[in-house]
Amino acid sequence: MTSIVTAGDPQSDVAPSTFAKALNDALRTAMERDDRVLVLGEDVGRLGGVFRVTDGLQKDFGEHRVIDTPLAESGIIGTAVGLAYRGYRPVTEIQFDGFVWPGFDQIVSQVAKVSYRSQGKLRVPMVIRVPYGGGIGAVEHHSESPESIFCHVAGIRVVSPATPQDGYDMLLEAIACDDPVVFFEPKRRYWEKAPVQRDTRSSGSVPTTFSSLVRRAGSDVTVVTYGPSVKTVLAAAEAAAADDVAVEVIDLRTLSPLDLGPVLESVRHTGRLVVVSEAPLEASITSEVAARVTEEAFYSLAAPVQRVGGSDTPYPPSRVEPLYLPGVDRVLDAIDRVLDS
Amino acid sequence: MQAKTTAVEAVQQASRRVEVAGVPGTAVMSGLRAVAADVESVQLLSPEGERVEHPRFALDISAEELRGLYRDMVLVRRFDREGNALQRQGQLSLWAPLLGQEAAQVGSGRAMRPRDVAFPSYREHGVAWCRGVDPTELLSLFRGTEHCGWDPRATGFWPYTIVIGNQVLNATGYAMGQRLDGALGHDHDADSGEATVVYFGDGATSQGDVHEGMVFAASFDAPIVFFCQNNQWAISHPVERQSRVPLYRRASGYGFPGIRVDGNDVLAVLAVTRWALQECRSGNGPVMIEAFTYRMDAHTTSDDPSRYRLADEQEAWKLLDPIERVRVHLSRTGQADREFFDQVDRDADELAARFRAHCLTLADPPLERIYSHVFVEPTEQLERQLADDRRFVALDEAVPMNVSTQGGHR
Ligand SMILES: Cc1ncc(C[n+]2csc(CCOP(=O)(O)OP(=O)(O)O)c2C)c(N)n1
Ligand SMILES: [Mg+2]
């Protein structure tokens, strides 16, 4: 894909930043670069968002660019489509994963299809930011992982960063992207800190961040994951290394369309694959990866693909989420299984 | 760049003018927003504790009933405060306070009869109380040990609904069912019939679900009271962001009556809701009620209102306190004495202690809870996943010092 990003002077600012702050910086950078970038959502203005991702933006860019909308997700996404028709680049915020559904109709029927329906004469470059995933001890509807449902919809890109740096880079790329992007933010990682290099993609043509990335090299087993589970899987890889098992960890980053090149390449040398996500397993990204690898690299596989995920139930009351969320030992168990067979 | 933004700014400024010049009771932008319901609103007990006559909504109320309403509000406020405290002490993951909305909830809750059904959003602890839900049953949702701690059918109080607006359609459908079942009342029997009350906030009125609920209810003459608690805020958004007109006037667009009531006046809320329910029970529904009130506390314990609203506003609303005016009225008219008030305070303390003690006994649910009630019968796949999970729990117990885990250890 193309990512046209024009930038000011590259800075080498590598101060540690929280995930939330990295996203905030990306929004600020995008708004400074292009005055057609708008932020819309509930409580994004004065409050700065319930996770403070839009903190300070209204103060600096004004109420006409950082817009506290009426309380209606179909309204937020549907009007963003119209604003995009008019040449704006709306970045919409959905407050929590469980509240995206009133806007789902607009996503499926308009956002995803209008380019196709108009033979490309109409485009809706817009971003739909959704904090997602569990692990924060929240009440119901605040901990869901609905990303697979969006991947089933053709015409929208679905991406999820796993680190503050990717949060920054991928949000900039999402805003610059001419396709609509659903941007899933792993909310339980919002307060984790890491150095963030600003303006890394500032000059000319840079590699896309909407691509799978090898986060850790290894020769025994390939573990594919994304979003909030990347950190869990890296911890499992570390634990496995103590047992002399070399795990290769791949962060998908783009969930739709998938970038399976690095996965296939990895499986061709490890011969073993585990796919990890905290979303329910049925008809999910984990099933898609397993199916596609089986189709394209069956003869490289030394063992059946193993999947680790949430159970096929609604998200449970938060006091049982430690049992529900796939943790390190689940991942290690799956690694054992692909190694044993 | 300049030209583009100027155009947008012009629109923005025009819309602000509309807000400032808007209708009474909605338009105050300078920090101290409307503190009182405007003249269109029904009031039967003034903030000073004086009875006010209303041409349409007379209310004959015995001293005992009045004392009962007072007691309800004091007890509800007391356990609500305890909910906040329990969250601060780490015993609850969240609490959604109702402070300031006691009259709106107790007045409407006490207007219901046992056969009527209430569909709440998530702040209706006072309605729950009136429906006979034990306050301790509210705790599990906020502690994270369950999604709903009471029996919806036994209490006629449906589960809390966090997804804004969803319950309005569900309640409308329930009311359509009441009509289909012939459960409306008969002229010769004032006690017959049943109706539904659905609770939602000022912010919720912007949701499509609420609009559609009103359209359906109007189309099918559903016996439903749309009870909107306008507490002036939807987290950080003032009500002006949701509507140019007072919310109750929306009803006329759908073709049914809308009434604004002083939501801090328990008598007015009781009288108007009783009337509305009777209209519904006798086939003249739907009706919309806007209870004009104020969210005196944060949106939830996770919220910091100092980021978006002035403390002055809250100070002004303190003068309109729903409990104080009843207390003044009761003492001034000699309908309650010192002993009564002391007894109510003791009852409230006792309830708060029981509420707290119960909270501490709420154990984490077992693994099996994850898999229960997904379908009527467990599926083979879920049974397999449960068995697999059991293996992990057993593993964990066998090796307590398992590798450190991130986001739990499943
Ligand atoms: C569909 C949906 N969108 C967003 C939210 C997040 N949210 C929770 S409460 C709230 C504000 C609700 O305001 P209002 O309807 O006035 O009710 P109040 O909280 O004031 O009682 C918002 C935006 C949600 N729960 N559901
Ligand atoms: Mg409100």
Per-residue pLDDT band for B398 (boundaries 50, 70, 90) equals low
Given this model, what pLDDT does residue B251 score?
98
Average pLDDT, chain B: 89
Phi, psi of A314 (to 5 degrees): -60, 160
Percentage of chain A surpassing pLDDT 90? 92
Given this model, what pLDDT does residue B21 score?
35
**B129-166 pLDDT per residue, tens:** 999 999 999 999 999 999 999 999 999 999 999 999 99
Answer whether B232's CB lies under 8 Å from B35's CB: no
Q: How far apart are CA B184 and CA A72, in angstroms?
A: 34
Quote the distance between the C-alpha of residue B35 and its chain's center: 20
Look up tokens 């519904």; give the residue.
B280
Which letter does DSSP use for residue B127 in this model? H
With a CB cutoff of 8 Å and minimum separation 6, the contacts of A311 are: A280, A281, A324, B370, B371, B382, B385, B386, B389
Half-sphere exposure of B52 (CA within 13 A, CB side): 19
CA of B201 to the centre of ligand 2 (A): 5
Given this model, what pLDDT does residue B394 score?
82
Using a CB-CB distance cutoff of 8 angstroms, which residues of chain A are in contact with residue B307? 46-48
Per-residue pLDDT band for B23 (boundaries 50, 70, 90) equals very low
Q: Which of the residue ranges A251-255, B49-53, B124-128, B395-399 would you say has the lowest mean pLDDT? A: B395-399
Q: Which of the residue ranges A149-158, A314-323, B7-16, B170-179 would you say has the lowest mean pLDDT? A: B7-16
Answer whether B198's CB lies under 8 Å from B171's CB: yes
B168, B207, B406: best mutation site toward chain A, by most A Cβ within 10 Å? B406
User: Which residues have CB atoms below 5 A from the ion given as ligand 2?
Assistant: B 201-202, 231, 234
Residue B14 above 70 pLDDT?
A: no
Average pLDDT, chain A: 95
Strands annotated E in chain A: 16-18, 37-41, 66-68, 89-93, 127-132, 157-159, 181-186, 193-195, 213-216, 221-225, 247-251, 254-256, 273-280, 306-310
Percentage of chain A surpassing pLDDT 70? 95
Catalytic residue status for A141: no
For residue A17, what are the β-bridge partners? A194
Question: How close, in Å, is residue A36 to chain B by CA atoms?
Answer: 9
Answer whether A161's CB lies under 8 Å from A196's CB: no
Given this model, what pLDDT does residue A202 score?
54
**A219-240 pLDDT per residue, tens:** 999 999 999 999 999 999 999 9
**B192-217 pLDDT per residue, tens:** 899 999 999 999 999 999 999 999 99
Q: How far apart are CA A23 and CA B115, in angstroms?
A: 51
Cβ–Cβ below 8 Å for B207 and A43: no
Cβ–Cβ below 8 Å for B162 and A141: yes
Given this model, what pLDDT does residue B24 score?
39
Given this model, what pLDDT does residue A199 score?
72
Residue A105 above 70 pLDDT?
A: yes
**3-state SS assignment for residue B175:** helix
Q: How far apart are CA B265 and CA B322, in angstroms?
A: 6
Given this model, what pLDDT does residue B12 score?
36
Average of per-residue pLDDT across B102-110: 98
Give every strand in the sheet of A157-159, ordered side by side: A66-68, A37-41, A89-93, A127-132, A181-186, A157-159, A254-256
Per-residue pLDDT band for A204 (boundaries 50, 70, 90) equals low
Of B207, B235, B382, the CB nearest to A102: B207
- Ligand 1 mutation target, pool B141, B164, B242, B308, most atoms within 8 A of CB: B164
Percentage of chain B surpassing pLDDT 70? 87
Q: How far apart are CA A120 and CA A24, in angstroms?
A: 31
Given this model, what pLDDT does residue A13 score?
56
Given this model, what pLDDT does residue B40 score?
84
Quote the distance between the C-alpha of residue B396 and its chain's center: 42
Q: How far apart are CA A7 and CA A65, in angstroms?
A: 20
Given this model, what pLDDT does residue B34 score?
52
**A263-278 pLDDT per residue, tens:** 999 999 999 999 999 9
Q: Which of the residue ranges A194-203, A292-301, B379-388 would you say has the lowest mean pLDDT? A: A194-203
Answer whether B239's CB lies under 8 Å from B120's CB: no
Question: How close, in Å, is residue B332 to chain A by CA atoms?
Answer: 43
Per-residue pLDDT band for B5 (boundaries 50, 70, 90) equals very low
Closest ligand 1 atom to A50 CA = 6
Q: How far apart are CA B255 and CA B17, in angstroms?
A: 29
Catalytic residue status for B299: yes
B310, B390, B410: best mutation site toward chain A, by most A Cβ within 10 Å? B410
Residue A290 above 60 pLDDT?
A: yes
Closest ligand 1 atom to B201 CA = 15
Cβ–Cβ below 8 Å for A47 and B1: no
In sequence order, which ranges of A86-142 are alpha helices (DSSP H)?
104-106, 114-117
With a CB cutoff of 8 Å and minimum separation 6, the contacts of B204 are: A71, B121, B164, B165, B168, B210, B228, B234
Tell me the two tokens of residue A132: 């997602």
Answer whether A230's CB lies under 8 Å from A162's CB: yes
Percentage of chain B surpassing pLDDT 90? 83
Domains of chain A: 15-198 (3.40.50.970), 213-340 (3.40.50.920)
Using a CB-CB distance cutoff of 8 angstroms, which residues of chain A are in contact with residue B402? 329
Q: Which of the residue ranges B12-26, B53-67, B87-101, B152-166 would you say has the lowest mean pLDDT? A: B12-26
Q: Which of the residue ranges A2-11, A249-258, B110-119 would you say has the lowest mean pLDDT? A: A2-11
Answer whether B408's CB lies under 8 Å from A278's CB: no
Given this model, what pLDDT does residue B192 score?
87
Burial B79-99 (b: 16+ CB within 10 A, else e): bbbbbbebbeeebbbbbbbbb
**B247-288 pLDDT per residue, tens:** 999 999 999 999 999 999 999 999 999 999 999 999 999 999
Given this model, what pLDDT does residue A341 score?
77
Using a CB-CB distance cutoff of 8 angstroms, which residues of chain B are in contact with residue A146? none
> Which value, in Å, is the radius of gyration of the alpha carbons in chain B?
23
Question: How close, in Å, is residue B410 to chain A by CA atoms?
Answer: 5
User: Looking at the CA of A141, which ligand is closest?
Assistant: 1
The pTM of this model reads 0.92
Average of per-residue pLDDT across A238-262: 98
With a CB cutoff of 8 Å and minimum separation 6, the contacts of B1 are: A35
Cβ–Cβ below 8 Å for B405 and A327: yes
**A5-29 pLDDT per residue, tens:** 434 444 555 789 999 999 999 999 9
Phi, psi of B267 (to 5 degrees): -70, -45
Instruction: Tell me the residue type at A50.
Output: V
Given this model, what pLDDT does residue B393 score?
84
Cβ–Cβ below 8 Å for B235 and A47: yes
Cβ–Cβ below 8 Å for A140 and B365: no
**A160-171 pLDDT per residue, tens:** 999 999 999 999
User: Looking at the CA of A101, which ligand is closest?
Assistant: 1
Q: Please calculate the CA angle B347-B350-B356 and round it to the nearest 5 degrees.
A: 140
Q: How far apart are CA B289 and CA B269, in angstroms?
A: 9
Average of per-residue pLDDT across B5-20: 36
CA distances from A261 to A148, A214, A297 (A): 20, 11, 11
Give every strand in the sheet of A273-280, ordered side by side: A213-216, A247-251, A221-225, A273-280, A306-310
**B335-350 pLDDT per residue, tens:** 999 999 999 999 999 9
CATH class of the domain comprising B42-361:
alpha beta
CA of A341 to the centre of ligand 1 (A): 50
Question: How close, in Å, is residue B203 to chain A by CA atoms?
Answer: 6
Residue B402 above 90 pLDDT?
A: no
